[in-house]
Structure formats: structure tokens, C-alpha cells
Amino acid sequence: MPGKAMIVTIVVGVVSVLYAYGYLVPLTRVLMVYVPVNVKSTIAYYIDLSDDTADVKSTSDRIFTKDELWKYRGEGDIYLAVLGQVFDVTKGRKHYGPGGGYEFFSGRDGSRAYVSGDFTEAGLVDDITGLSLTDIRGLDDWVKFYRKDYTYVGKIVGNFYDAAGTPTTAYREYEKQLAAAEDDKKLTAADYRRFPPCNSESAQGKGRRLWCSTLSGGIQRDWAGLPREYYRPGTTKPRCACVKDVGPPSETSSTTTADNNKGDLDNPNVKVYPGCDPKSISCSFNDF
């Protein structure tokens, strides 16, 4: 009779093989009911038997070719794909069905068009090369939207997944870009907190006005700041930013109350607008 140690070794070996070939999750959850506690803990050491529905789903994904997906754009079920992920949007027929405002998205992966706005045949493609980080975040938002409001059904063979449903190099590159986009979003948020956007208004015949307040740019704070032309590092075009000086403007004047501490006004990335009083919280331009 084989000893307990040998039995454990054999069971673990069999389970490991099942795991390697993708048969583990459904079978093992049944068998584990009859496995002794000490053996169960040994198996759990080597593999994860948690109820991970995402992993189960990935093994049962339907894989579409482009020709197959193209069939789902008419009177029957309506499917579309974003970043290679296919969704059933039949319940949104009035939008995605024949004559709908988004009919051109149906039956294909038109990822690029979701953020480029180019709804021609040349723009409705799955090539996202050269998109900005903002566009990459936009695509991620679209995927989240479809996963929330519609039904995920599988993947399409193309730029993002191969015939086995495995992510391609292009998809891995997208993931890297998305990570960079999220980092950039955090940096941008921090940048806007430090240099909030100015208020602005323009009118024909009256020119343009830029000014700062404690809520300009939608960012609440206890200081108003002064309008400056701000060049964020790494960018080529400036924006109007409210730059922190030394405190709130005088209640009776549009100028600051102290001059001995310039706050962020000495930052090399900010410049006074030509023709604007460097101490004023408001600047007007006759550029119409």
C-alpha cells in the first residue's frame, strides 16, 4: 500500500496537469468536496482555486473572425468590438441598428473612430497607432461603458487578439500606453491644482478677457492668483493659468497687497501677458 505522502504527491501531480491544460477549475471544484483537508491545503499551495469568474470567462470566450462579426449588424443580433472585445448591443438597436446614429460601429472593430471622430471607412479601423494619451484614456472609458451597459460576448481576431484569443503585441502596447495615460492624468491633475486655469470670456467687438478667482477652472481654493501665460513642461502651447502670488487681492483694488514674496510668479514656465498689468487679477485683449 502506498503511504499518505505518495498519495498526496500523486494527487498534486494529477491536479497540476489538469491545471496546465485548462481543465482544472470546473473539475477540481467538484473533486475538492471529497479531498481530505490536508491534501486540499497542499493543492491550494500550488494553485489558485478561488472563484475567479474573469478567468473562467476568458477560457470560454467566443472568437470571431472579421467576416463573422460583420454578419451581426442587421435585423438580428447586433455586435460591435472595441479594442478587440466584442459586445452584444442588440438592446441599443435604435442607435446601432440600420438607420441608427451609430450604425457604422456595428459588425466591426472601429476602435480608432471612437476617439478620432473619423467615421469613414478609412477611420473605422482597429489601428490606434499614434493616438494621444488622452485618446487612450478615452478608449478605456468606452470599454468600461460597454462592459457596464451591454453584454460582453468574446473577442475578434485582428490587431488586438490572435486566433486563440491571446493578446497581441499591439494590445500589450495599448496596456503600456494606458498605464502611462493614467500616470499623466495624475500629473495633470496635480498641475491644475498648482496652476488652475483662468476664467475667460470673449465677445465680438469687446475682445477677450482673462481673470482669476478662488474658483477659476472649477478648482476651489483660498487664493485667486494672477493670470499668466503658462507653459507646462513637455508642451509646446501655453494656457492661461492662475499663478499663486502672496495672498488674496485687496478688496478695493485689482492688485495684490504685497510685493516682497512672489510665490510661484518667479516660476520659469510662466510669463506675463503682453500689455497686461503684472499685478492685476484681470487682463483684457482687443484681438478681435
The domains of the chain, with CATH numbers, are: 4-55 (no CATH), 62-187 (3.10.120.10), 195-288 (no CATH)
Helix (H) or strand (E) run with residue 95 in it: helix 93-96
Coil, helix or strand for 63?
A: strand
Confidence tier at 19 by pLDDT (50, 70, 90) = very low
Rounded Cα–Cα distance for residues 105 and 95 (Å)? 10
Residue 49 has phi, psi (to 5 degrees) of -105, 20
Range 222-243 average pLDDT? 91
Rounded Cα–Cα distance for residues 126 and 7 (Å)? 52
Grid cell listed for 262: 512672489
Judging by beta carbons within 10 Å of its beta carbon (0-12, 13-18, 19+), is residue 110 exposed, middle or buried? buried
Rounded Cα–Cα distance for residues 250 and 280 (Å)? 11
State the amino acid at position 232 in one-letter form.
R
Cβ neighbour number for residue 237 with a 10 Å cutoff = 6
Coil, helix or strand for 268?
A: coil
Predicted confidence (pLDDT) at residue 249 exceeds the cutoff of 90: no
Average pLDDT of the residues of the chain: 81
Any idea which residue has 500629473 for its cell? 187
Q: Provide the residue count of the chain.
A: 288
pLDDT for the residue 67: 97
pLDDT for the residue 283: 93
pLDDT for the residue 20: 46
* CA proximity to 195, closest of 167, 170, 223: 223
